[in-house]
A and B are shown apart, each in its own frame.
Chain A
Amino acid sequence: GAVVSQHPSWVICKSGTSVKIECRSLDFQATTMFWYRQFPKQSLMLMATSNEGSKATYEQGVEKDKFLINHASLTLSTLTVTSAHPEDSSFYICSAREAPGSPLHFGNGTRLTVT
């Protein structure tokens, strides 16, 4: 079945540095990818939606200059957390779909810890 690979699975970084998270669709072309953030014992909050070749659409309250999303190809989207702070520590999950109405496949998530 369709697989979405997310890398790294966990990362620890120092405050002020930037971290890049990759989301790849391994056996299908993902026209749309979604990025979520999940706080402990809470639900997934959609951060942004990216369509291949166009700018990402950010949810209200999400800083687009802090959470840079690039969807340069049909199989890869990246989320870069710039100038990370401890409050950015969270579990980040991506999902991808081939086309509108097609199933949504999730990556295994990335646990980011900012010290």
Chain B
Amino acid sequence: AQSVAQPEDQVNVAEGNPLTVKCTYSVSGNPYLFWYVQYPNRGLQFLLKYITGDNLVKGSYGFEAEFNKSQTSFHLKKPSALVSDSALYFCAVRVPHLSGGYNKLIFGAGTRLAVHP
């Protein structure tokens, strides 16, 4: 089955410290991977994606993610966390829809990032 796992419900980090939000996936074929951020009562905002090419992907707001094929992981990272980074983060993988001939996103359960001053 195709799936995305975010093993941590919450990640706590002090402001200024590096942060990592973990994501592992299980898909057939080459994965198309995404990270989104959600603020309270809001929709999702796109952070970055991996399609092909360089394993280290840089995205919005200073975030980056590293694609590791052998470990089937796509962890989100930032060298120096800000209090304003506190939000809910979702990892997602694009998979083909069984019918309809198009793709859909499967989301992980989400990880709440709390950055403390």
Residues of A near any B CB (own CB < 8 A): 4, 6, 9-10, 32, 34, 41-44, 46, 49, 51, 57, 91, 93-95, 100, 103-109, 111
Contacts and interface: CB of A to CB of B under 8 A. Distances in A.
B29 interface: no
B20 to A, nearest CB: 19
Q: Which 6 A-B residue pairs are closest in the complex by CB-CB distance?
A: A106-B43, A106-B44, A43-B107, A108-B43, A57-B100, A43-B109
Q: How large is the interface on B (under 10, 10 to 19, 20 to 34, 35 or more residues)?
A: 20 to 34
Contact of A42 (B43, B106, B109): B109
Contacts, number: 55
Contacts of A111: 41
Interface string B87-117: 0001000000101101111111110000000
B90 A43 contact: yes
Contacts of B109: 42-43
A53 B109 CA distance: 32
5 contacts: A43-B107, A43-B108, A46-B106, A93-B43, A100-B103
B45 interface: yes
B45 A106 contact: yes
Contacts of A46: 104-106
Nearest to B103: A100
